[in-house]
Amino acid sequence: MIKTTNNQKKIENTYLLYRLFSNMFFVSAVWLYFYRLFITDAQVGILDSMAFTLGLIAEVPSGALADKFGRGKIARLGLIFAGSGLFIQAIGGGFLPIFIGQSIMMIGMSFVSGADEALFFTKLDYNRESNQWRKLVTKGSQVSLIGGLAATLLGGWLHTINPHIPWILTGTAFFISALLIWGIKDTQPTREKLSISDEIKTYFEGIVDGFQQFSSSHLLRYVPIILTVQALFYATGWGLLRIILLDRFHFDPFMGSVIVAACSVITIGILSGVHKYSEKIDEKIALSVIGVSAALSLLISIPDIGAWGAGVIFTLYAGERILYPFLSEAINNHANDQHRATTISVASFFKVLPYIGLAPMIGALNNNNHLEYFLLLWPVLIFLALGFYRTVGNKSSPKS
């Protein structure tokens, strides 16, 4: 068993606290009701589409900025941006302030994405042959679920007292997250001063290299998994698919909230087992089981299964949390250290990209009572992705 140093233990504790506060979304269950105080549902749809597009555009360039100017600096800046955006929405009233606040928040989240993970992975400097990073990320997922569940329940209650409070508390949680990583400094070598044109050139070369990382056999095999399985989880967790499925299974908003809360509690227990038996769990088997389960959950949603649909919601909810540590380990182990944050941001880009097309497609199909076309087609893509993953580029030794 590989022992961790005192410095690693200190960084691990900071990481867990960071995951706790950075996932305390007090607004997660009430954001739509808050928006409805000031704007119409049609405006909410426009806002959601613009926000996701803006976040997608900023995703990869922000990772390149982190690799070039410091992952800690960009992560802290992103957290401050995200917190500020939430405060602007809290004190604003109307489409324009909400749009401005949402835009600033999404840009901030893009800055954080990739930079924070690359910062902790590099600073911890685990043995690449071990499962230490996977175990830490799994434990971090448990902590984030606990914090998220508590914040969601508390935010729902506080919304009834004053709808602005959940937004202020979420923004405050992001500011606390920035303070937590303030003392973690990058260990990047001193950069040579370049002319403006050369700086721009190396910046774009970093972005290109981030995409090229996924053309290697080490990471190429994961791309279809990200584009299908992880994208499905994104559409369920952050997009409208979960709400549509809950409605399809005839759950009212209250029962839907109860089911999601129950999924969170059960998933925390499952992640505890994944953490405990991490060394014995084979990545290929784990990803295959997660992918097949996700595909089957969509297929069994085609008929009217009623209350049994709670199992579908649980499968998609838990699958997202269990998949993350395995993909995080694979991407970090095989990424070029110089462009690690960029590579992680490219992976996030691949995950979000399908939703830009899926959101209007799912909405239109559901509106016309033809959601079964999506529920039938997407599992086929998942099975093809799993076949590619299992046959292309056998897992090799991690990069040093």
**Cα angle: 224, vertex 142, 60; to 5 degrees:** 40
Q: How far apart are CA 70 and CA 181, in angstroms?
A: 13
* Structural domains of the chain, with CATH: 6-391 (1.20.1250.20)
215 exposure class (CB count in 10 Å sphere: 0-12, 13-18, 19+): exposed
Q: Give the other-Cβ count within 10 Å of 201's Cβ.
A: 12
Per-residue b/e over 163-198, b at no fewer than 16 CB within 10 Å? bbbbbbbbbbbbbbbbebbeebebeeeeeeeeeeee
Predicted local confidence at residue 394, as pLDDT: 55
225 exposure class (CB count in 10 Å sphere: 0-12, 13-18, 19+): buried
What phi and psi, each to the nearest 5 degrees, are found at residue 295? -65, -45
Q: How far apart are CA 186 and CA 122, in angstroms?
A: 8
pTM, two decimals, is: 0.79
C-beta of residue 387 within 8 angstroms of C-beta of residue 263: no
SS3 304: coil
Sign for the CA dihedral angle at 37, 39, 40, 44 comes to negative
Q: State which residues of the chain have pLDDT below 50.
A: 395-400
* Residue from 376, 29, 325, 339 nearest 208 by CA: 339
